[in-house]
Structure 1
Amino acid sequence: MLHLRMIIPSDRTDAVVRIVERTVGTTHLAVLPGAARIPEGDIVLCDVAREAGDELLHELRQLGIDKDGSIAVENIDLSLSDRADLAEEEAPGEAADAVLWEQLSEATHEESTLTITYCAFMIVATMIAACGVVLDNAILIVGAMAVGPEFGPLAGVCTAVVRRAPKLAARSLVALLVGFAAAMVATTVFTLVMDALGLFHHGMLDKPRPNTSFIWQPDLFSFVVALLAGVAGVLSLTSAKSGALVGVAISVTTVPAAANAAVALGYGEFGQMWGSMEQLLLNLFGIMLAGVVTLLGQKLLWRTQRGHWRRAAPKV
């Protein structure tokens, strides 16, 4: 269930109440006339089943509530109410299959914004991966994958394509490009510093590395894994199962590929550098392709389910 807290201009409160009342899957409606001060208006509270939330939010935005008032949405972790149980039963579809497009856009907007913190995470993750590739240490590679924040901008690109949001697409692509560029430049310098300290040396990159050599040797399996990771990542976002994102992060070779390219550049190993860049681009493309297709599939599936439900619903 979702909880909605709205500030409504007084002249539109009745219209909002009617929308909430006729939306199947809503309950616990409360109206507090004149309770809001900034902006002035009425406060309307209600709970709605997740699978009915997107349609309700769409209708509220058509009334301009997001512009002249406010709409806040919270996930309800626990609701002990027979009415809430009934609302969830009446709502079409299953909560796990429902996509809240407004929530997805907001989440990807935040995660795909280029910030100092985002760049710091990218740089640190790539430096950890650099240690992993030089030492041929798979544990460090996995740790670097988990630290890397690159899936946020990737999800932003996918969402922007499906929702036709060019600003979000541009913001996400800038975050991706600048983030990886900054991380690779910093890691190249890091490599030279570590070499000067005697902790890295050229021979460590040339010797056999059975645990990490796949990073600069892309193949068809790299693309297949990227596709599967893209599907899993988008599903974890749209279904609010964020725990799956950790698994997605450690299954794709993006940060390690950038790290190996940076280390190889530092030592003039251009063959390994280009192989790593191919691996990086292959993974990025695979994730974005799978993410877009998954979102389009979810959009089509939910639209079909909702259409069946509307045709089957009794006429009031």
Structure 2
Amino acid sequence: MIHLRLRVPSQLTDVVRDLLVDDDTVVNVAVVPGAYVKPEGCLITADVARENAQNVVASLRGLGLGHSGAIALDEGQTVISDAADDAEKAAPGSPIDAVVWDIIEDRARDDVRLSWAFMAFLTLATMIASVGRLLDQPVLIVGAMVVGPEFAPVAAVCFAIARPRWSLLPRALSTLLGGFLVATVVATTIWGVVHLFGGFTNAQLQHRPATDFIVQPDIWSFVIALLAGVAGTLSLTTSKSAALVGVFISVTTVPAVGTLALSLATTTWHDARSSLMQLGLNLLGIIMAGTTTLLVQRFFWARIRVRNRALPPSLSSRER
């Protein structure tokens, strides 16, 4: 269930209350007149089945509540109630598979902000990946993949294209590319100083069999990126966020940036070109797959919701 908390202007209170009460997928509707004082308004709370939350929010937006009032969504609610069980049975589809686009958009808008924390994590992940490449240690490469935060802006790019929300796209791309640029510059500078003072030699980078896959991009790099893009997008749009860890350690984005920094510091141009190609293949695959997955989900849920609205309430409940 998703908990709704609404600030409703007094002239819309009856309309909003009736809209929620008449919906079989909404329960626990409560109205507190005059509860808000800044800005003024009535407080209306309710629990809605996740599968139909997007429809309910769209109806509230249609009343202008997003401008004249406020709509707050709180997911992850556990409601122990027979009425709540009946509401979920009346909703289309499965709660695990349901997509609430407003929640995803809110996350995407947070993820497109280029923060110090994002740059710090990406730079640290890049440094760890560089050490993994230098020492030929796959364990460090995997660790760098987990630390890297780059999937969030990549997912925001996919959302901006699929929804579409074009205003998000430039910010998502600038966060992603800006983060990679900062991480590369910092890591290259550090490794350049270490190399200059004899911390390691170019010969140490010549034979690294355990991590050579980073500088050997091929069709399988692209295929894995496609699969990871689908898995990552599904984990973000559904309640299966644990799968994200597997996505992080499947794609070779951060390892490619770490190897790029190491190659630039040692002027190993062949490895630098291969790393850039690996990074590009992975990003292209993830974005293509993620965008396609969102488009499929959008089409699928639109069909289910239209079909559900077209059926009489009693018939739609019996069919499920």
Structure-1 separation of matches of 2:314 and 2:97: 25
Structure-1 separation of matches of 2:4 and 2:172: 29
For the 8 Å contact 1:136–1:212, the answer to whether it is kept is yes
Matched, 1:173 2:183: no
Flag structure 2 segments of 5+ consecutive residues without an equivalent. Answer: 316-320
Letter in 2 for 1:136: D
Letter in 1 for 2:160: A
Deviation sequence 1:208-263 (CA, Å, 0-9, x none): 21211000110111000000000001100100322111111111000000111111
Aligned position for 1:256: 255
Structure-2 separation of matches of 1:3 and 1:261: 46
Letter in 1 for 2:303: T
Matched, 1:103 2:82: no
For the 8 Å contact 2:3–2:77, the answer to whether it is kept is no
Letter in 2 for 1:279: Q
Three-state SS of the structure 2 residue aligned to 1:96 is: coil
Structure-1 separation of matches of 2:306 and 2:166: 29
Q: Report the Cα offset of residue 309 of structure 1.
A: 2.4
For the 8 Å contact 2:195–2:265, the answer to whether it is kept is no
Letter in 2 for 1:141: I
Deviation sequence 1:115-165 (CA, Å, 0-9, x none): 111111111110110000000111110111111111111111110011221
Aligned position for 2:293: 294
Alignment map for 1:212-291 (pairs within 5 Å): 212-291=211-290
For the 8 Å contact 2:163–2:295, the answer to whether it is kept is no
Matched, 1:69 2:80: no
Letter in 1 for 2:9: P
Structure-2 separation of matches of 1:290 and 1:313: 37
Aligned position for 1:8: 8
Q: Report the Cα offset of residue 60 of structure 1.
A: 0.9
Matched, 1:308 2:311: no
Alignment map for 1:27-42 (pairs within 5 Å): 27-42=27-42
Structure-2 separation of matches of 1:284 and 1:76: 31
Structure-2 separation of matches of 1:19 and 1:77: 21
Flag structure 1 segments of 5+ consecutive residues without an equivalent. Answer: none
For the 8 Å contact 1:127–1:190, the answer to whether it is kept is no
For the 8 Å contact 2:191–2:262, the answer to whether it is kept is yes
For the 8 Å contact 1:24–1:52, the answer to whether it is kept is no
Question: Hey, which bits of structure 1, 4+ residues long, moved more than 4 A?
Answer: none
Q: Report the Cα offset of residue 314 of structure 1.
A: 4.1
Q: Report the Cα offset of residue 76 of structure 1.
A: 3.7
For the 8 Å contact 2:97–2:239, the answer to whether it is kept is no
Letter in 2 for 1:100: V
Q: Report the Cα offset of residue 310 of structure 1.
A: 2.7
Three-state SS of the structure 2 residue aligned to 1:41 is: strand
Letter in 2 for 1:179: G
Q: Report the Cα offset of residue 174 of structure 1.
A: 0.2
Structure-2 separation of matches of 1:61 and 1:13: 14
Paired residue total? 315
Structure-2 separation of matches of 1:77 and 1:16: 22
Three-state SS of the structure 1 residue aligned to 2:208 is: coil
Q: Report the Cα offset of residue 47 of structure 1.
A: 0.2
Structure-1 separation of matches of 2:308 and 2:66: 28
Three-state SS of the structure 1 residue aligned to 2:32 is: strand
For structure 1, which segment, 161-170 or 245-254, has the greater mean C-alpha deviation from structure 2 after superposition? Answer: 161-170
Q: Report the Cα offset of residue 64 of structure 1.
A: 2.0
Letter in 2 for 1:241: K
Q: Report the Cα offset of residue 193 of structure 1.
A: 2.6
Q: Report the Cα offset of residue 306 of structure 1.
A: 2.0
Structure-2 separation of matches of 1:128 and 1:155: 23
Q: Report the Cα offset of residue 77 of structure 1.
A: 3.8
For structure 1, which segment, 195-204 or 208-217, has the greater mean C-alpha deviation from structure 2 after superposition? Answer: 195-204
Identity among equivalent pairs (%): 45
Alignment map for 1:77-156 (pairs within 5 Å): 77-156=77-156
| Distance of aligned partners of 1:153 and 1:76 in 2 relative to their CA distance in 1, 3 Å threshold | closer
Letter in 1 for 2:74: E
Structure-2 separation of matches of 1:76 and 1:285: 32
Q: Report the Cα offset of residue 59 of structure 1.
A: 1.1
